[in-house]
Structure 1
Amino acid sequence: MAQAARPHHGLLSFLDTDGKSHPVQNAFAVTTLVIGAIAFVTAHFTQLHLVSSWTGLVGMITGAWGQLISATTGERFVLIIGLGAAGVGFYLGMAHGGLFGGVLG
């Protein structure tokens, strides 16, 4: 019960539910969430299909790796939200013009 009484400090303390610090895993979770949000927002603008498709692809890769190395449920929760947003951004970006935007053909 000592872990319940120990105060958690820091902005990302909700990710460390086991009481240990996981800076690498937390960085992957937050990075995936931010990249996923960028991909999701830019996917709603047809002209930004290059941004949304590439950030979506990078977000899905970082999210998948983050899932492999994640240590807590909080990290996995944030990763899944970021992965979903990155996936939507990637697929809408692909539908609007793809990764290369007609440069190849």
Structure 2
Amino acid sequence: MFNRVGLEIDAKVRLHGLRHTAAVRMSNDPALTLSDIQRILGHLHLSTTQEYLQQHDDDIIERVAQHLRARSEPRPAPEAPALTYDSSDLDELVGDASW
């Protein structure tokens, strides 16, 4: 059917091309996981589905910039450990400690 329609409109429309386009669009949808797409396409191996993933340079650059910004931000100092205890906590652990 696609071949006949393609001839009538003088276009090179092929079922595989439509499938490929759908797979690429699904891979760009954050609501779909790679395993969702694998199942929809009927791929046995996830590596076959991974071929449809496209990395966009702008996205990669933004993720690297976020990573570098996060590394340059000062990290909060760790809290000092408590050097005292509450006697009610000790009672909770070992019972009445008046022995």
Fold similarity call, TM over 0.5: no
Point out the structure with max Rg over C-alpha: 2
TM-score by length of 2: 0.31
Which structure dedicates a bigger proportion of its chain to helix? 1
Bigger relative CO (Cα 8 Å, ≥ 6 apart)? 1
TM-score by length of 1: 0.29
